[in-house]
Amino acid sequence: MARLKHRQISSSLYGGFTKSPGRSFELEGEKIVVKYGGLKTSIEEAWCQPAGADLTDWVTSIEEALALLDRGEIRVAEKSGGLWVVNDWVQKAILLYFRVRDMKPSEAGELRFRDKIPVKTDLASQEIRVVPPGTARYGSFLAPGCVLMPGYVNIGAYVGAGTMIDTWATVGTGAQIGSNVHIAGGAGIGGVLEPVQSRPVIIEDGVFVGSRCIVVEGAIIEEGAVLGAGCVITASSPIIDVRGEDPVIMKGLVPAGTVAIPGTWPRQFPAGEFHTACVLIIGKRQASTDRKTKINEILREFPLEL
């Protein structure tokens, strides 16, 4: 989808893409547009079958969708016209994949596992680094240059080029992570499959997610933002911009290029006033700060821990 929409033709075989019953190709000038209408229709048909129905007639389509997802050729969500759009048929394909897969044992050295979904393979050809015991499940996509420390990337997740998933960080099902992102140690990026059409967590390009942050419930962290250690962001968490004379409250979104830290917000309850968690936007990441600069330079700009 997003990665293929305007790919240049590089060979006589549809720009390097193989034809299949689920895909069609259209030329727009010197560019090729890949469409998945047939595959989407097949997935929707399978989804409409009653619980427990035999899905044999749709297994090929389901497996093709997961193979495309694994290669980053389709995505759970993608940006279109400046807005993030959920491809619910891709979410359905993942859920159907669980239905048609059998439990199988596997092993890594002396460790034993039993699951329906294998891990990604052929990492060298994909130019990604996975440090033991880091795990990326089949159906997730890691672009070239990604580094996965001993963390976890679940099925349906998309991780852009040059991103680091640090030790014990987790990227949930369907989460969309941009390029040149750093997700620091122990951070939790939530995922979602059900209900279908639900937006996954979106972490855009160049974001830094500090240690032990939690970002869940479809929150969007826009390009270049910095989250200080321990930020908890949900769909309902107050995100308060305190840079002006009056606080500006928003939810589910950290604006592009801002610096945010954990804070508290007073709320009135029957038993009295108590302070609940929130996130405070305290500054703007400087335009002169290169996205690949050391985090210590950001620390010198703003008084926060990462």
Distance CA 167, CA 263 (A): 25
Task: Check residue 193 and give its pLDDT.
Answer: 85
Task: Check residue 266 and give its pLDDT.
Answer: 92
Q: Which helix (H) or strand (E) holds 225?
A: none
Residue 16: pLDDT over 60: no
Which residue is it, tokens 């460790």? 111
Q: Are residues 141 and 185 in the same domain?
A: yes
Distance CA 192, CA 184 (A): 21
For residue 189, CA distances in Å to 21, 92, 258 come to: 35, 21, 19
Closest of 24, 292, 18 to residue 161, by C-alpha = 292
pLDDT in tens, 110-119: 889 999 999 9
Closest of 235, 222, 230 to residue 280, by C-alpha = 230
Q: Are residues 69 and 132 in the same domain?
A: no
Which residue is it, tokens 């048929």? 89
Strand partners, 267: 274
Instruction: State both tokens at 303.
Output: 């008084």
pLDDT in tens, 33-64: 457 889 999 999 999 999 899 999 999 999 99
Q: Could you give the number of structural domains in the chain? A: 2
Domain with residue 124: its CATH number is 2.160.10.10
Q: Which residue has the higher pLDDT, 197 or 171?
A: 171
Q: Are residues 82 and 155 in the same domain?
A: no
Q: Which residue has the higher pLDDT, 24 or 252?
A: 252
Q: Are residues 87 and 124 in the same domain?
A: no
Residue 212 lies in a domain: yes
pLDDT in tens, 80-108: 889 999 999 999 999 999 999 999 999 98
Q: Are residues 129 and 60 in the same domain?
A: no
- Provide the domain limits for residue 25: 7-100
Q: Are residues 43 and 146 in the same domain?
A: no
Give the pLDDT band (50/70/90) at residue 197: confident
Domain with residue 67: its CATH number is 1.10.166.10
Task: Check residue 29 and give its pLDDT.
Answer: 54
Task: Check residue 2 and give its pLDDT.
Answer: 37
pTM: 0.84
For residues 125 and 143, the answer to whether their CB atoms sit within 8 Å is: no
pLDDT in tens, 219-276: 999 999 999 999 999 999 999 999 999 999 999 999 999 999 999 999 999 999 999 9
For residue 218, CA distances in Å to 63, 192, 203, 291 come to: 26, 8, 10, 24
Q: What average pLDDT does the chain have? A: 86
Give the pLDDT band (50/70/90) at residue 297: low
Q: Are residues 148 and 81 in the same domain?
A: no
Last residue of a domain, one of 40, 73, 100: 100
Which residue is it, tokens 């308060």? 240
Could you tell me whether strands 232-233 and 226-227 are parallel, antiparallel, or unpaired per DSSP bridges?
A: unpaired
The three-state secondary structure class of 228 is: coil
